Amino acid sequence: MFSFSETVIAILLLLICNLCYSCNQAEYDIGGECCPVCPQGDRVYKHCTGQSSTSCVPCVGLTYTDEPNGLTKCKPCTVCDQGLGLKTVRTCTSSSDTVCGVLEGHYCINPYKGGCRAANKHTACKPGQFIKQPGAEYIDTDCEDCSDNSYSNGSFTSCKSHTE
């Protein structure tokens, strides 16, 4: 039988050995074997073996990979949903995802990689309020109440004085 300290040492050695084993940056691990990655725009068709290198094929249809990888399936392209206030700014390619922007009258609430994942409609100022700051691509409209002797229908950029 092993003593407690011998058991702990054996476990630590196993952990250290497992931590030491890793593939380099241009490889991926598959079942303890380090295989060369596929370039962006491609995916793995067949993993490497002792006798052959990784076999890669291009992403097709509405799929992509945007970095070197060991994936067996390409990622699905993002769809810019008009119902979420989005429009397509750049279409998906085999090596890059779709980039969505905001529709007119909307602002982005979820920025992502130079684009937007979700947007809201700009706030409409109410009668008695003026537009202090108009909405833009990444900011909502800022409304402010008019003072007592002034008015706005909600679309003015400043309140107008009441006439006597």
55-72 pLDDT tens trace: 999 999 999 999 999 999
Are 101 and 116 in the same domain? yes
Closest CA to 38 of 59, 67, 69, 60: 69
Name residue 131's beta-bridge partners: 143
Query: Do the domain assignments include residue 90?
Result: yes
Residue 15: per-residue pLDDT: 45
63 and 40 inside one domain: yes
Q: Name the domain count of the chain.
A: 3
The closest of 91, 84, 88, 111 to 101, measured between CA atoms, is 88
Domain that holds residue 152: 129-158
Assess if residue 19 is contained within a domain.
no
Residue 46 contacts residue 54 (beta carbons within 8 Å): yes
* C-alpha distances out from residue 164 to 37, 59, 130, 149, 151, Å: 78, 71, 21, 10, 13
Asked whether the predicted pLDDT for residue 7 surpasses 80, the reply is no
Query: How much is the pLDDT for 4?
Result: 58
Q: Is residue 118 predicted with pLDDT exceeding 90?
A: yes
Give the tens place of pLDDT for each residue, 147-160.
988 999 999 999 99
Report the predicted TM-score, pTM, of the whole model to 2 decimal places.
0.71
Pairing state between β 86-90 and 75-76: unpaired
13: in domain:
no
* C-alpha pair distances (Å), 58 with each of 38, 53, 61, 95, 150: 9, 16, 10, 9, 64
